[in-house]
Amino acid sequence: MFRKKDFKIKIGPFNYEVKFVDKIPNDGDKPINGGSIQSLLAIRIRDKSPSEFQDFVIVHEIIHAMLINSGLAYRMSKKDILTTEDVASALDIHLYTLLKDHKVDFTKTTKGIKK
Ligand SMILES: [Zn+2]
């Protein structure tokens, strides 16, 4: 679904850099598999995970980026009903399965994405 090396993907108006790394920023005692950092327009994915799971984590982090860029993340933190993690965790498996089952290939969509 995604490249297994660093690449860029357009999320809303922004070109995010997806990098495969040994350690995720803000990784604490409990290892995490990915992270979305809006201020850097960056997504980081643990490079040791199986590639199918990496694709799933990339979809999860894309949802986080969408929630932040849409302003929903800010509103959700004010209302304290659902967290962005609740929403990303609810939607990630559905979106991942949809994209996988329909063989969406992000490695071939580079139009409008800065190298
Ligand atoms: Zn998350």
- Among 19, 94, 20, residue whose Cα is nearest residue 56: 94
Helix (H) or strand (E) holding 22: none
Ligand 1 centre distance from Cα of residue 108 (Å): 26
pLDDT score, position 64 = 93
* pLDDT category of residue 54 using cuts at 50, 70 and 90: very high
pLDDT single digits (tens) 58-112: 999 999 999 998 888 877 777 667 888 888 998 999 999 989 998 888 777 666 6
pLDDT score, position 19 = 95
Mean pLDDT of the residues in the chain? 86
Strands ordered across the beta sheet of 7-11: 7-11, 14-21, 42-46, 34-37
Ligand 1 centre distance from Cα of residue 88 (Å): 6
Instruction: Pick 115 or 67 by higher pLDDT.
Output: 67
Ligand 1 centre distance from Cα of residue 83 (Å): 10
Lowest model confidence (mean pLDDT) among 33-42, 44-53, 97-106:
97-106
Contact 34, 44 (CB under 8 A): yes
Ligand 1 centre distance from Cα of residue 34 (Å): 8
pLDDT score, position 35 = 93
Ligand 1 centre distance from Cα of residue 60 (Å): 6
pLDDT score, position 109 = 61
Ligand 1 centre distance from Cα of residue 61 (Å): 6
pTM: 0.82
Which two structure tokens, joined as six digits, stand for 27? 């990784």
